[in-house]
Amino acid sequence: MSQSITTSGSVAQPTETADVIVVGAGPAGSATAAYLAMAGLDVLLLEKTAFPREKVCGDGLTPRAVKELITLGIPTPEEDGWIRNHGLRIIGGGMRLSLPWPDLASFPPYGLVRTRQDFDDILARHAVKHGARLHESTNVTGPVLDDTGAIVGVSARAVDEKGRSTGPELVYRAPLVVAADGNSSRLSLSMNRPKRDDRPMGVAVRTYYTSPRHDDDYLESWLELWSTDESGKRVLLPGYGWIFGVGDGTSNVGLGILNTSSAFGKTDYKDVMRRWVATMPEEWTYNDETMVGPIRGAALPMGFNRQPHYGKGLLLVGDAGGMVNPFNGEGIAYAMESGRLAAEVIAQAFARGDDARRERVLQSYPGVMKDALGGYYTLGRYFAKMIGNPEVMRLATKYGLPRTTLMKFLLKVMANLAEPRGGDASDRLINALSKMAPDA
């Protein structure tokens, strides 16, 4: 990222101005922009690529993510390519356990699958429909700072499909900038907000295979990845896997590994993927000949690994703020949820009559996020540390999977699907644990 522009002295002239600039039109940025536009604010949404564009993801949406889609007003009819799933199938310890999503008042009883190439485009167009101004192929190169060091805009350049600059430097100004620019969040780094090393980090790789399993109506989670060595002996590979039917003739097949594992950063994840799928039944047709596109990887920033979530005019949402769930690696639900919560705070802030009062409201955003997810994410950090130990994972798989009642409880925990009020004993226990856990 280029050096920041400081507005003291000669003032850089803005190309455009807005109430709020949102950098990044993924689920977090588009949700934020849509809600802000609905609240009557002038929102500029800057995206470095052009839609439709691909993102590395499992493409599976839990009921928590579906709830956010419903709240945002995104229709999801099956005839438009939204594939419903009824629950999670867990494979491990020689068992296959199918668990339906819980039937709760606060969450729909189904999940969805939609490729990110379609999904992100749909959300960005939804924000535009409600009044956000979207600029695609616009690569933000740095912050514009005032003489106090606060961000008051961004510099950017138009880019082609290969990311090469195609024009002069552009300057966009707003009293608030939202960083929704993903895990690397170069904008956050330029404002001296590095990642925290005491938070879990994951790596995921995935590809698509043409397969008759494309219409599977359960998300599938593999707790163990087995292969064979040259002598034919079974060997346990590092990581955890998934298979999601996409409904278009392909399956999304991927695996992830946490930095709490001793194999993190020392493993050829693409090789692990190939060795794992080579053990699957031939009729599933997961092989090099049916692979659609390359095996691609991405980092999963978990448990609020970048903080503070607001300061000096810059507010963080989604992966930029490390909001991936440490229990299951889910990011889309929390990206959209953080966008919704951020927009509520921002709209209230801009309803204040002066800068000091607006700033006071914006300063409440980190507390809002910690109240919503802080305790739960702390539990997730403990969980991530435990399962990084292969022996703990082996015992959990061996003794946990045969107990369906326990697994139903763990499904609620891992997918964060407890009723916030009332509910049964399991909901109350999950909420109590989350409230007792520190939200640092």
d(CA 373, CA 391) in angstroms, rounded, equals 29
Q: Which long-range contacts (CB under 8 A, 24 or more apart) does 147-153 make?
A: 147/6, 147/7, 147/8, 148/312, 149/312, 150/312, 150/313, 151/177, 151/191, 151/312, 151/313, 151/314, 152/7, 152/313, 153/14, 153/21, 153/177
Q: Give the per-residue pLDDT at 146.
A: 95
Average pLDDT over residues 240-266: 92
**Per-residue confidence (pLDDT) for residue 132, from 0 to 100:** 98
Q: What is the pLDDT of residues 209-238, one digit of tens each?
A: 999 999 999 999 999 999 988 888 888 888
Residue 3, pLDDT > 60, answer no
User: Mapping DSSP to helix (H, G, I), strand (E, B) and coil, where does residue 405 land?
Assistant: helix
What are the phi and psi torsion angles at 168 (to 5°)? -75, 170
326 vs 13 pLDDT, higher one: 326
pTM: 0.94
3-class SS shares of the chain: helix, strand, coil, % to 5: 35, 25, 40
What distance in Å separates the CA atoms of residue 312 and residue 266, rounded to the nearest whole number? Answer: 38
